[in-house]
Amino acid sequence: MKGFIKEYFNFSKRERNGIIVLLLILVIIVYIRITVNNTKQNKRVDFTEFEKDIDRFIEYQTPDFSKTPLSFDPNTADADQLLCLGLSPRSVNGILQYREKEWKFYKPEDMLRVKDLSQEEFEHIKEFINIPKKEYAKDYKFQYPEKTYTVNESELFYFDPNTASKEELKSLGFLSWQSDNIIKYRESGGYFTEANDIEKIYGLDPDFVDKLKPYVKIDSAFTGTSNLSNADISIELNVATAIELQKLSGIGPSYSKRIVEYRDKLGGFISVEQIMEVYGFTDELYETVKNSFIIDTSNIKKININTAKYVDLIKHPYIDKEITNSILNYRKFAGEIKSFEELVTQKAISNEVFDKLQPYIKTK
């Protein structure tokens, strides 16, 4: 046995040198591997610039209602004056672009024609809008290029401006841009309650309006003449349109628009009480409408936290920057979030946040 072992482990000097070199090479390879792995593990992805871009984007769209507006003329106020009112930079740019087209504001409500100005911002500044009437009254009718209306009365037909299509409106003699404005007004939650309301459409010739009025027939749902009280009305809150919400006494175009916008950001309501989170909603109004709402939670839109991006998470009303970063950092660490409860267990979010977000989150 001793001879057997000696035979197999007896190396020449050249063989011993080769083994030593081989061992050195192996040690170097192992050292490099360990060093590279440690370097990769310690490396952190820097989201600083990306987060700054997101912050700038959010700031661009966010008004500052803590500022107290001063009296101003929207036709002459510069960007700095408009920003001092508390308007978002996006809305200020919208106003300036509107004026660059050589359009003017003749009354406070005209500012709602700026597509980037929200209803909340308008409500914040409307009492401070000061437009010199004498300066602009002379060209009010001619804000847009003059148009000669040639409407054959024999071709007119009864229509409801709350439901008429663009083609129907154009057939009646409305210009394309006027038809678009009517439809945009309706989509934002506005509606017509009587024939005289069509006079509010900008740039219409009075004679043309007089010819149309006898053909305006407005459904009772929009006139407020319905005998139904709120107690007689039942509305599914997660699918109702702004027009349907306005069937309830106390909810007009502004409230209905805010409710729909907030519902879309939220992903849907899981309880009627959440409507109190809508901007400007009062306790008194809530008491008058709460029993008219029913909720189907099957319509809730959920966010997949394993695939959602930063912007997808932070735009939800219940998710701020801190929660967004916490979820994304944990997801990067874990690779995949197997259950939402896991975030609480690992202290990525609090129990309070978990309770609010649970109905709006999914992992697959």
Residue 360: Cβ-neighbour burial (10 angstroms; 0-12, 13-18, 19+) = buried
- Is the model more confident about 41 or about 157? 157
Q: Mean of the per-residue pLDDT values for the chain?
A: 81
The pLDDT confidence band at residue 3, using thresholds 50, 70 and 90, is low
Express each pLDDT in 35-62 by its tens digit: 776 665 555 556 677 677 777 777 778 8
Helices and strands (DSSP H and E) totals, the chain: 18, 4
Query: In this predicted structure, what is the pLDDT of residue 291?
Result: 92
- Is the model more confident about 155 or about 313? 313
Percent of the chain surpassing pLDDT 70: 84
The span from the CA of 297 to the CA of 300, in Å, is 5
269 pLDDT more than 90: yes
The span from the CA of 193 to the CA of 173, in Å, is 21
236 phi/psi in degrees, rounded to 5: -80, 110
140 pLDDT more than 70: no
Query: In this predicted structure, what is the pLDDT of residue 152?
Result: 61
Express each pLDDT in 186-214 by its tens digit: 777 777 888 888 876 766 777 788 888 88
Query: In this predicted structure, what is the pLDDT of residue 146?
Result: 42
Express each pLDDT in 7-36 by its tens digit: 656 667 777 788 888 888 888 888 888 877
Compute the 3-state secondary structure of the chain and give helix, strand, coil in percent, each to the nearest 5: 55, 5, 40
Query: In this predicted structure, what is the pLDDT of residue 301?
Result: 92
> 321-334 and 48-61 are packed helices; what angle lies between their axes, rounded to 10 degrees?
150
The span from the CA of 195 to the CA of 333, in Å, is 63
227 pLDDT more than 60: no
244 phi/psi in degrees, rounded to 5: -65, -35
339 pLDDT more than 70: yes
The span from the CA of 319 to the CA of 260, in Å, is 19
Query: In this predicted structure, what is the pLDDT of residue 174?
Result: 85
Looking at residue 265, the DSSP 8-state letter turns out to be: H
The span from the CA of 166 to the CA of 193, in Å, is 19
224 pLDDT more than 60: no
142 pLDDT more than 70: no
Percent of the chain surpassing pLDDT 90: 15
Looking at residue 349, the DSSP 8-state letter turns out to be: S
> Mean pLDDT across the stretch 105-126?
86
Query: In this predicted structure, what is the pLDDT of residue 194?
Result: 83
Name the one residue in this structure whose structure tokens are 């290029």: 145
Query: In this predicted structure, what is the pLDDT of residue 252?
Result: 78
> Mean pLDDT across the stretch 215-223?
76
The span from the CA of 77 to the CA of 74, in Å, is 5
